[in-house]
Amino acid sequence: MAALRAALLAWFDASGRDLPWRAGIEGRRDPYRVWVAEVLLQQTQVSRGLGYYERFLDAFPTVQVLAQAPLEAVLKAWEGCGYYARARHLHRAAQQVAAQGFPTSYAGWRALPGVGPYTAAAIASLAFGEARAVNDGNVRRVLARLGAQTRPSDTWVQAQADALLDPERPGAWNEALMDLGATVCTPRAPRCAACPVAAFCQAFAQGQPTAFPAPKVRAPVQEVRAVAVLMGDARRAVLEPRTGTLLGGLMGLPTEVVEASETSQQALGRLCARLDATPQELLGEVVHGMTHRRILLQVYGARGMQAPQPVAQAALSRLDQKALALGDQQAPLFPVS
């Protein structure tokens, strides 16, 4: 174990990724910057997430600024990152932190809205030097290959992570495991010749590292059909609040889900009756994939009495951005009456 730790930490010290939230002394980093990064990158690759991270920190450079901002501004800054419940939880938790101060322990972070075991362990170890092992997808893959585990349970992965954690440098150890999984011990084409811990890896010894871990059985993707209306154009349109856990708090085109027992035209009629609007021709269809859903959205032009609002000022999901883009493909557009 001592040799494995030494080999991985030496590699990390020489080859670890230079990321903005890693600035500062190990174990005493800015907890706010670490926190934002860990929340944002839960569902976003680092290569894409860097731009989102910098944009968010430019808008809200401190936890006090974030706490005082209206939720609409936070969601606008989060635009494109997806899983908007994370932004809502981050905003609520920031208000608690601004009033009470930053937690300094794993238990304190776990008590905040939206902060789960992984995020709490990451912040506690990276910003405060607490000996807490993280467990994410990269860590799971590295440990499964080290132990040649085909279907490692969460309990097994956490137990291995806890046992291997370097108590002297817990934050560096956690980052080293994550960097190894992200850059060397990758899912489909691991670079075993460059791996600092290949000598300790049972999967490498067996000559089949990609067999570990076996792919997770994923739930089937649910296809959702819906209709929306564009009253206005791609720059000014009638919008309404989204509800639900996925897109709640955002704005979007008026939309109705097509129920299993009805046609798209029936759903469109129900939508226009609700809006007191007159449907026009079909502008197009957009397809948007989410983790367990695939949304097929038919977008129609419509006329109504509602006042359009500037689209650029609204927090919109990627789905609605795609739908609004259809307005640029039609000339003339359907103006509001």
User: Which residue among 177, 211, 245 closes a domain?
Assistant: 211
Same domain, yes or no: 39 and 174: yes
The confidence score (pLDDT) of residue 329 equals 61
pLDDT at 205: 98
The reply to whether 82 falls in a domain is yes
Choose the catalytic residue: 26, 38, 175, 256. Answer: 38
- Is the residue at 336 inside a domain? no
Does some domain include residue 335?
Answer: no
DSSP structure string for 24-52: SSTT---HHHHHHHHHHTTSS-HHHHHHH
Q: Clarify whether residues 198 and 230 are in a common domain.
A: no
Tell me the C-alpha distance between 192 and 165, whole Å: 22
The residue among 35, 57, 50, 51 whose CA lies nearest residue 114 is 35
Q: Are residues 188 and 247 in the same domain?
A: no
Give the end of a domain, one of 158, 190, 211: 211
In a domain, residue 217? The reply is no
- Binning the chain into helix, strand and coil, the percentages to the nearest 5 are 50, 15, 40
Total count of domains within the chain: 2
Cα distance between residue 334 and residue 283, in whole Å:
10
Q: Is 337 within the bounds of a domain? A: no
Interhelix angle 117-128/31-40, nearest 10 degrees: 150
Q: What is the pTM of this model?
A: 0.88
Are 302 and 237 in the same domain?
Answer: yes
CATH number for the domain spanning 302: value is 3.90.79.10
Range of the domain at 163: 2-211
**Domain of residue 160, CATH code:** 1.10.340.30
pLDDT value for 337 = 35
C-alpha angle 205/209/212, rounded to 5°?
Answer: 115
Same domain flag for 38 and 87: yes
Q: Tell me: do 138 and 47 sit in the same domain.
A: yes
3-class SS of residue 12: helix
**Residue pair 276/305 in contact by the 8 Å Cβ criterion:** yes
Residue 299, phi then psi, degrees to nearest 5 = -110, 125
Tell me the chain's radius of gyration from C-alpha atoms. Answer: 24
Q: Strands 293-303 and 222-230, how do they pair?
A: parallel
pLDDT along the chain (337 residues), means of 10: 97 96 93 97 88 96 98 94 92 98 98 97 98 97 98 97 98 98 97 98 97 91 95 95 78 96 97 96 93 92 94 93 84 39
Same domain flag for 94 and 141: yes
Tell me, yes or no, whether 143 lies in a domain: yes
Give me the pLDDT at residue 29, please: 96
Residues 188 and 311 in one domain: no
Same domain, 136 and 58: yes
Residue 232: inside a domain: yes
Residue 295 tokens read as: 């949304």
Residue 109's contacts (CB-CB under 8 Å, 6 or more residues apart) are: 103, 115, 119, 120, 123, 124
Q: How far apart are CA 208 and CA 211, in angstroms?
A: 6
Concerning whether 259 is annotated as a catalytic residue, the answer is: no
The per-residue pLDDT for 39 is 96
DSSP string covering 143-169: HHHHTT-SS--HHHHHHHHHHH--SSS
Which pLDDT value is given to residue 335?
40
Element of type H or E holding 256: strand 255-257
Picking from 174, 191, 211, the residue at the C-terminal end of a domain is 211
Q: Say if residue 193 is in the same domain as residue 285.
A: no
Per-residue model confidence as pLDDT tens digits over 188-199: 999 999 999 999
Residue 178 to residue 139: CA distance in whole angstroms = 6
pLDDT for position 245? 62
pLDDT at position 332 is 40
Helix (H) or strand (E) holding 288: strand 278-289
Q: What is the pLDDT of residue 223?
A: 95
User: Is the same domain home to 58 and 202?
Assistant: yes
Residues 161 and 295 in one domain: no
